[in-house]
Amino acid sequence: MWKGKLPREIFEIGQEGYVSAGEVTYPEGIEVIDCELGTSPLGMSERVCRLLKEGKTCNLCDYPEPEPNDLKVGIVKAHSSWKISPEEVLVGGGSIGVLVSLFRVLLRPGSVMLGVSPQFTDVPLQALYNGASYESINLEAPRYSIDKNRILEALDRKPEVLYIDRPNNPTGQVLSLDDLAELARAAMKTGTWVIADEAYGDFLPDEESAAVLDFPNLVICRSFSKGLGVAGIRVGFAVCRDRELAALYRKIQPPFVIGTLDACIALEVLKDGKALDAVRDYVKKAKSKVLELVSQKQGWSVADTDQRVPIFLLSQEAGNIVKRLADVGIACAPGSGYFNLDDRSARLRVPSPDKLEAFLERLNIIGDIP
């Protein structure tokens, strides 16, 4: 009787996320430089290392709080310029966990999510898995510039959700706050929720976060995985000013979604402003060097990008750039892991400081390959 009951239409969704976009082979005996996932190039902060080493008291026998209040208060204090209250903070298992829970409320079969393409693939995939449809505004190569006016026109379709990753993944470009405010204002008239995914938001100053905007239909998602350097703890949060949506989110959120130790580490990270300043400073310097080198290479192009954001999209007119990078031992996120891209493109994150010079040398070698 159970045969045929699974939603097999999910198998018909052919797109994979960039994490599972395909196996890459590297030459034997070469040290691979990791420029793939969007983790902090400086790694964990000393403060987190110290906390783990000292073994701070943390009761792991009891269940964690369903919604850790200390963490929510810590988020409010760490981002005082946003002028939010703990009640406006929604927590979850990483920013993707927050988004999945939001979509349980906002999307259902027949709903429409509007976005730009390319963008963080797993979010539109989650919409599709919910039975919703994904309508994208396809950005034009090679710059892949995000045009506010094209999004405004597309809002006439009255989608349930407008999803904007800001900074954009994979390009690293940042839609201006004024443009986002105009979109949120227009979306109020079309009955559209606007999700601003700021997974890479910590690389920008707090005053540039969408969280400073006060719109009831605007939800901002944040991560501890990128600039804060603790992807392994799987903690994320959202800023939501609509009380009814916040109440629904808390109603459907699974219990105990954030572990006690994870909440403890996240709270400690929020106190480490020096570490965040250091990674921001390094990213700007490293990305400047990378972009300068790439600009001198014929046949390569870089999409619009913000120098403060550690990721960028590198493309060539023909051939497999992912393989070319792999041949010199550089790991990247393949373009085939994004909607409307293929492996003529690759998303790269600036490497760690000890690998930067080797990374630049290897890029230079690739440029000399016919």
Taking each helix axis from N to C end, the angle separating 69-78 and 260-270, rounded to the nearest 10 degrees, works out to: 20
Under 8 Å between Cβ of 245 and 219: yes
Alpha-carbon distance 345 to 147, whole Å?
A: 21
158: left (phi over 0), alpha (psi -120 to 50) or beta: left
Only one residue has tokens 């008239």, namely: 189
Blockwise average pLDDT, block size 10, the chain, 370 residues: 76 75 84 94 89 78 90 96 97 95 94 97 94 96 96 97 98 98 98 98 97 97 95 95 97 92 93 92 98 92 98 95 95 95 96 97 78
Q: Which of 273, 251, 126 is nearest to 202 (CA)?
A: 273
pLDDT at res. 369: 53
Q: Which of 172, 181, 125 is nearest to 286 (CA)?
A: 172
E strands along 317-369, which residues? Answer: 330-331, 333-334, 345-349
pLDDT at res. 21: 65
pLDDT at res. 9: 81
Structural domains of the chain, ranges and CATH numbers in brackets: 22-44+274-367 (3.90.1150.10), 58-271 (3.40.640.10)
Q: Is this structure's pTM higher than 0.85? A: yes
